[in-house]
Copies of this chain bind each other. A is one copy, B any other.
Amino acid sequence: MSFFSIYKLYISSKRRYVRALKNLLGFIPGNLYLYQMAFRHKSVAVAVKKGAKNSNERLEFLGDAILGAVVAELLFKMYPYKDEGFLTEMRSKIVSRVNLNQLARKLGFDELIQYDSKMVNYPGKSSSLLGDAFEALIGAVYLDKGYLFTRNFLLNRIIKPHVDIHLLEQTETNFKSRLIEWCQSTGSEVLFEVTNNAEGESAKLFTVDAIIAGEVKGTGRDYNKKNAEKLAAEKACEALGII
């Protein structure tokens, strides 16, 4: 261990924080400022230069993109014979807010995150506080250590030990059945209707409307009719706030 690491872990004024991060991450962080920012919810952020806030939202934007790339490669290589529709669906399952919140809780983020409990409904059921901080942390690791390090950290420390991809594969996010259930519970009629394509479009392309109580709530288009229905159902679920 280098002198600098020993200093950070045992001598510096931030040694407790550094040790907590090391326990969480498995490595000694370089630029502490980035990690502190990753765990700072906007409810406790203050405005810095030009009115920008020092909250974790910008890091979340970056981390979300890095996580997306790492998971895309993982799935691409893990499932060499599955099509891009399957890969896209699997990725949304892995990076869903529900899954990231659970992961962040498992990893013990609760203890490091900073937020104003008067302003944030946490630990509320729909809170995305932890998942957001998790993505921000990935952004921080990326800026601190680069892509390869972040990729290996995510694969070896987070995904392989904590995410059961084969289990996720089996749990289907079935928007169509969810939509039908919701309509039954609210007593609304649901219909899937194939509409005519615009002039000049291939006859093989299906356009399907999901019609709930007489109103189009979602439209899906695909070369496969079933997929077009699925997409229409997904959009309708979104529009109706069934998530």
Residues of A in contact with B (beta carbons under 8 Å apart) = 49-53, 57-58, 60-62, 64-66, 68-69, 71-73, 76, 80-84, 87-88, 119, 121, 124, 139, 142, 147-148, 151, 186, 198, 200-202, 207, 209, 215-219, 221, 235, 239-241
Contacts and interface: CB of A to CB of B under 8 A. Distances in A.
Contact of A49 (B71, B81, B83, B235): B81
Contact of A241 (B52, B198, B216): B198
A87 B121 CA distance: 26
Given A148-B147, A219-B217, A239 B62 contact: no
Each complex incorporates copies of this chain amounting to 2
26 contacts: A51-B81, A52-B80, A52-B82, A53-B83, A57-B83, A58-B87, A60-B84, A61-B72, A61-B76, A61-B84, A64-B72, A65-B69, A65-B71, A65-B72, A65-B73, A66-B72, A68-B68, A119-B202, A121-B200, A121-B201, A147-B148, A147-B151, A148-B148, A209-B215, A216-B216, A216-B217
Contact of A240 (B119, B198, B241): B198
B219 A83 contact: no
A44 B64 CA distance: 34
Nearest to A219: B239
> For chain A, what secondary structure do more than half of its interface residues adopt (helix, strand, loop), or is it mixed?
helix
A91 to B, nearest CB: 8
Interface centre among A50, A69, A119, A186 (most CB of B within 10 A): A69
Contacts of A64: 72
Contact of A84 (B58, B147, B241): B58
Contacts of A88: 61
Contacts of A82: 52
Contacts of A72: 61-62, 64-66
